[in-house]
């Protein structure tokens, strides 16, 4: 903890736009202007946002490959009284993005952590899907291993929200169609961007559509809850 009279630093976790650069809060912009340093996944990516809003800031890279070592350095700076703003390339840090190690380091040292809300691909896709939102589950990126992915999709009884690679989307939709051809699904692609697309339908319908027209860009998949007794039908 800081001694009496010492400068008080803090970590400010900032949600940034998921596509449209206008989708950023005034509080986040103010923090980015005044922070001693902005920790970001890709300094080039974050600079685009800063330039758009005419902000000059000191940037330091903070990504999955240097997160643990850099977290200790940043926590030490906060302990010395600096304000560190943490951003990811899009959305909220820690949500399938780096940041957990830094938040944990600050908590261990008794340092202040403030979180500024903002754009979220997860919640945006959930609402846009038109599927039940009273109870839902976010699982990050779907498992790469087929068996794990199959069990997750077959057993989840709540609305499920997941990130999916466009390269694997068709295979995942085909798997869903084998489990339950009528399972309601929404594919939310390039949210808030120029070519945004939200396509809703059954698992079978969407598997057929994207089987003919390969998807591009970032995809959030929203899947209705499994019906009782659903399981993969082997061909």
Dist CA 65 CA 148 (whole Å): 26
The pTM score is 0.89
Domains of the chain: 10-116 (3.40.1010.10), 121-223 (3.30.950.10)
**What was the pLDDT predicted at 233?**
58
**What was the pLDDT predicted at 227?**
81
Q: Which residues of the chain have pLDDT under 70?
A: 1-7, 228-235
| Interval 173-189: pLDDT, tens | 999 999 999 999 999 99
Count of alpha carbons within 13 angstroms of residue 175, beta-carbon side: 18
Tokens of 188: 């939310």
| Interval 208-226: pLDDT, tens | 999 999 899 999 999 999 9
Alpha helices in the chain (DSSP H): 26-34, 43-52, 67-79, 100-108, 121-129, 146-155, 169-179, 203-212
**What was the pLDDT predicted at 112?**
97
DSSP state of 214: -
- Residue 55, classified by CB atoms within 10 Å of its CB into exposed (0-12), middle (13-18) or buried (19+), is middle
82, 54 Cβ separation under 8 angstroms: no
């Amino acid at each position: 903890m800081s001694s009496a009279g010492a400068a008080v630093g803090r970590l400010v976790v900032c949600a940034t736009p998921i596509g449209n650069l206008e989708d950023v809060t005034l509080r986040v912009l103010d923090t980015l202007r005044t922070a001693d340093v902005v920790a970001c996944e890709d300094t080039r990516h974050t600079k685009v946002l800063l330039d758009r809003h005419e902000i000059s800031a000191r940037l330091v890279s903070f990504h999955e490959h240097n997160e643990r070592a850099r977290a200790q350095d940043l926590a030490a700076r906060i302990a010395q009284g600096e304000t560190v703003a943490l951003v990811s390339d899009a959305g909220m840090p820690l949500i399938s993005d780096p940041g957990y190690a830094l938040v944990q380091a600050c908590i261990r040292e008794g340092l202040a952590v403030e979180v500024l809300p903002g754009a979220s691909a997860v919640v945006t896709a959930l609402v846009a899907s038109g599927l039940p939102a009273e109870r839902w589950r976010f699982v990050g990126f779907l498992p790469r291993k087929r068996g794990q992915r199959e069990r997750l999709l077959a057993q989840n009884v709540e609305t499920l929200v997941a990130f999916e690679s466009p390269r694997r989307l068709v295979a995942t939709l085909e798997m869903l169609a084998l489990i339950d051809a009528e399972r309601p699904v929404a594919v939310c692609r390039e949210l808030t961007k120029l070519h945004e697309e939200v396509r809703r339908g059954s698992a079978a319908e969407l598997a057929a559509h994207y089987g003919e027209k390969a998807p591009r860009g970032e995809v959030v998949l929203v899947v209705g809850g499994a019906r009782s007794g659903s399981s993969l039908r082997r061909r």
